[in-house]
């Protein structure tokens, strides 16, 4: 039964993602907001709601591995797995302004989160406490503010050069939020089925959280980015991934640490290091202003390698 639910949930996720991408892109055109910002803010945050729900519940239940592993694993999967696959479908164009702000910001928040988690600044035991969480939430608010201020400077030019007539605003809103709702519901069933199957196989919680749960909660990002790539809207696809990663680290861990102290856990320095390395690798791949199919293959190969490493170190 779990396998049938898994397939049905995947179909729902793909359907929801397609409507989310079409609706949000239409809203972006109507209000002169760039596809990257609409991807980073609306699509990126919207598709990260499953991570928010899972990590918050993990923190509430005292399951640190779930709360942190879900975020770290999702960020790795987003860049190496999803963006790698997206670039294989259609090369992802990277604009100069993204190189100057969003990609370095993603690297910076990845490094800062790791330092906070291992208490580099005060030498306390490994944990993300309330103060750390407050810092992350302030950084999230700063990112949102700067993103809209920077985008507003180019909004007039974007509106002036837009030729395609957007959909009716109510239809666009219905497709955006209706698609997001289907995504979240489908993702919820996908996670439940995946965890049930993994538990039957005797896999431990830390491994489940950083692989199956992380990949499961990232299904909306995967579906949204692939849908955007097939429509050759790579700005939205890139914004979705970068925005989702920043939201995961700053807002989700920030909120989760206010619910409960995120102390200890089975997520290792190697996992945090791979998360940082994936963000750095993304920046390197984007240096020529485009992530080619070959570079997408490198990203995806790195994701497979990481998972092989996890499986080889898995203790049943």
Which tokens belong to 306? Answer: 């990481």
The C-alpha angle 184, 187, 192, rounded to 5 degrees, equals: 130
| pTM of full prediction above 0.75 | yes
pLDDT at residue 260 is higher than 50: yes
pLDDT number for residue 111: 96
What is the C-alpha to C-alpha distance for residues 153 and 159, in angstroms, rounded to an integer? Answer: 12
| Residue spans per domain, the chain | 2-311
For residue range 61-85, list pLDDT tens digits in order: 787 777 888 899 999 999 999 999 9
Sign of the four-CA dihedral 103, 23, 137, 81? negative
pLDDT at residue 122 is higher than 70: no
pLDDT number for residue 157: 45
Lowest mean pLDDT among 151-160, 202-211, 261-270: 151-160
pLDDT at residue 268 is higher than 50: yes
| 290 DSSP β-pair partners | 93
Residue (of 75, 6, 10) closest to 306 by Cα position: 75
Band the pLDDT of 282: cuts 50, 70, 90.
Answer: very high
What is the C-alpha to C-alpha distance for residues 107 and 224, in angstroms, rounded to an integer? Answer: 22
CATH architecture of the domain with residue range 2-311: Up-down Bundle (1.20)
What is the C-alpha to C-alpha distance for residues 268 and 62, in angstroms, rounded to an integer? Answer: 18
Which tokens belong to 189? Answer: 């069933």
Lowest mean pLDDT among 155-169, 213-227, 300-314: 155-169
């Amino acid at each position: 039964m779990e396998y049938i639910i898994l397939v049905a949930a995947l179909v729902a996720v793909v359907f929801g993602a397609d409507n989310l991408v079409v609706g949000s892109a239409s809203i972006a055109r109507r209000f002169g907001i760039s596809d990257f910002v609409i991807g980073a803010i609306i699509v990126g945050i919207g598709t990260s709601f499953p991570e928010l729900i899972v990590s918050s519940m993990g923190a509430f239940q005292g399951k640190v591995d779930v709360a942190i592993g879900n975020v770290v694993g999702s960020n790795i999967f987003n860049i190496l797995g999803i963006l790698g696959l997206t670039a294989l479908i259609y090369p992802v164009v990277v604009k100069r302004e993204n190189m100057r702000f969003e990609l370095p910001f993603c690297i910076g928040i990845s490094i800062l989160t790791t330092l906070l988690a291992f208490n580099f600044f005060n030498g306390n035991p490994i944990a993300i406490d309330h103060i750390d969480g407050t810092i992350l939430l302030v950084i999230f608010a700063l990112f949102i503010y700067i993103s809209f201020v920077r985008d507003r400077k180019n909004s007039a030019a974007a509106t002036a050069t837009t030729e395609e007539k957007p959909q009716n605003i109510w239809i666009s809103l219905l497709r955006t939020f209706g698609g997001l709702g289907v995504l979240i519901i489908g993702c919820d069933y996908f996670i439940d089925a995946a965890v049930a199957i993994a538990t039957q196989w005797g896999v431990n919680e830390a491994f489940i959280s950083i692989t199956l749960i992380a990949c499961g909660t990232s299904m909306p990002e995967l579906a949204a980015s692939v849908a955007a790539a097939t429509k050759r809207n790579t700005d939205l696809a890139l914004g979705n991934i970068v925005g989702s990663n920043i939201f995961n680290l700053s807002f989700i861990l920030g909120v989760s640490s206010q619910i409960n102290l995120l102390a200890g856990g089975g997520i290792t320095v190697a996992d945090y290091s791979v998360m940082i390395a994936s963000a750095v690798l993304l920046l390197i791949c984007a240096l020529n202003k485009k992530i080619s199919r070959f570079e997408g293959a490198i990203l995806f190969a790195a994701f497979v390698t990481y998972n092989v490493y996890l499986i080889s170190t898995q203790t049943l």
